[in-house]
Every structure is written in C-alpha cells, then in structure tokens.
Structure 1
Amino acid sequence: MATLFYGNAAEPIHIEDRALAHLKVVIATKLRRQESFTLSWEHYDGEPGGRSTIWIHPSIPLRFTFDEAERPEINPQWVQLIMNSANSTGGICLVDEILATPEPQA
C-alpha cells in the first residue's frame, strides 16, 4: 500500500501502489501546469467509512511513497481516464484500471 502525504495533514492517504503510480503521473502533469483540482477517494477497509476529498494546489507540499521498489508499467488508457476526471468539475476520482483489449484478428 503506497502513501500520499499532503501538506501538514495529520493522517497520510493510503492508496494501492499501482493506482498511486498512475495518479502521480496525472497530479505531476496538472501541477506542472499550475492547475489546482480536487482529489477524491473511498476509504479502505479498516479506516472510518465513507470518502474524502482534498484540494490539490501547487504551493502545498506533496510526497508519494511506494511499498514496491520497482516502478509499474504505466497504462496510458488509465492515465487518460484519470486525467479526464481531473479536468472535470468533480476533480479526480480514482477509477478502476481499464485493461487494453486485444484487437480482433482479421
């Protein structure tokens, strides 16, 4: 389980390693453009129920830590889905990964 540390929040945000790797690509892209947005997620089992939302802003410190040392292969389709949600009025909502489907053989 990876961890996202944001600002001076008392509690870190726990997100699965592969999901956070993809989220990091989108967040870094948005912050490089000086764009602010919201990030929402559902709480994991063992945490209080419900969901949370934070406002991501370029001036607030952010740190990503991963349990796995090896970087996962990035799925461009998943990054695009997350980016599309980042550009919406609702901000980033973590969505399930879409796996590429093989093209039918002619």
Structure 2
Amino acid sequence: MGTLIYGPQDVEFDDRLLTHLEIVIVNKFRRRESFLMSWLDDLSVGSGRSSMWMSAEVPVYFKYLGSRVPAINRDWLRLLETEANGPRGLIVLDEDGSPAHAGRAGQQRPDRDAHPVRKIA
C-alpha cells in the first residue's frame, strides 16, 4: 500500500493504483487544473466514501511501499483521465473499472507547525 499525502490528509492506495493516480494528478496539475477526487473507504476505516478537492497550490506527495515501478496500463490510465476530466471529477477506479477502496481515508496528520499542549502541574 502506498500513501497519497495531500495537505494534512493521508490516503492509502495499492501501489499499482497509486502509480496510475500519480500520472493523472500530475498531468492535471501541470495544466493548473483543480478537480474533485472521490473513492470508497475501506471497511477498516468505517466504510462509506470520501472526496477531496485537489489543487496544484497544495503540495502532494506520493509514497510507495514497494521499490519497483509497475507497468502502466494505458487503457486504465485513459479511463482515469476521462473520469478526472468529467463533471464528477476523478472517481478512483480499479483496473477492472470497479470503484476502488482506500485505507486511512480522511485521517488527518497533525499540523507540522502545531506544538503539543503541555499540562503544567
């Protein structure tokens, strides 16, 4: 499982899926295009679905668990690009076209500038 880190959000996707998402997201950001990205939440994070507004103004980081770059499926890439350019935004789909699940969806990381509150006795 790789991790998409966008602002204070961490979202885990399979490395192969994340590689394809990276290509689509980077291409949209190169064109300075913002878009909505949506996925199904894994049962481990309570089920449901999540959406996130993606904008080139916010740093994005792709962290992969594996060290090998998977082969790119051009048909899958075109499907994801079509979704990203549609009115509903990028609906994250698995290679077979079914809705993809993500782990830790919506989990926020602490702000890097925030300092923990200390209790003084």
Common fold by TM > 0.5: yes
Structure 1 segment 73-84 matched on structure 2, within 5 A: 73-84=71-82
Q: CA deviation at 1:83?
A: 0.2
TM-score calculated relative to the size of structure 1: 0.87
Structure 1 runs of 4+ aligned residues shifted over 4 Å read none
Give 1:88's aligned residue: 86
Give 2:112's aligned residue: none
Percent identity over paired residues: 38
Q: CA deviation at 1:29?
A: 0.4
Q: CA deviation at 1:44?
A: 1.4
Q: How many residues align?
A: 97
Q: CA deviation at 1:80?
A: 0.3
Give 1:103's aligned residue: none
Hey, which of these two has a bigger chunk of strand by percent?
Answer: 2
Q: CA deviation at 1:48?
A: 1.6
Give 1:104's aligned residue: none
Tell whether 2:28 aligns with 1:30: yes
Give 2:40's aligned residue: 42
Q: CA RMSD in A?
A: 1.3
Q: CA deviation at 1:8?
A: 2.3
Q: CA deviation at 1:96?
A: 2.3
The amino acid across from 1:18 in the alignment is R
Q: Map Cα deviations across residues 56-101 of structure 1 (whole Å, 9 max, x no partner).
A: 0000111010111000011111000000000001000111214xxx
Tell whether 2:5 aligns with 1:5: yes
Q: CA deviation at 1:45?
A: 2.7
The amino acid across from 2:26 in the alignment is A
**Unpaired runs of at least 5, structure 2:** 97-121
Aligned residue for 1:46, secondary structure, equals helix
Higher RCO, 1 vs 2 (CA within 8 Å, ≥6 residues apart)? 2
**Unpaired runs of at least 5, structure 1:** 99-106
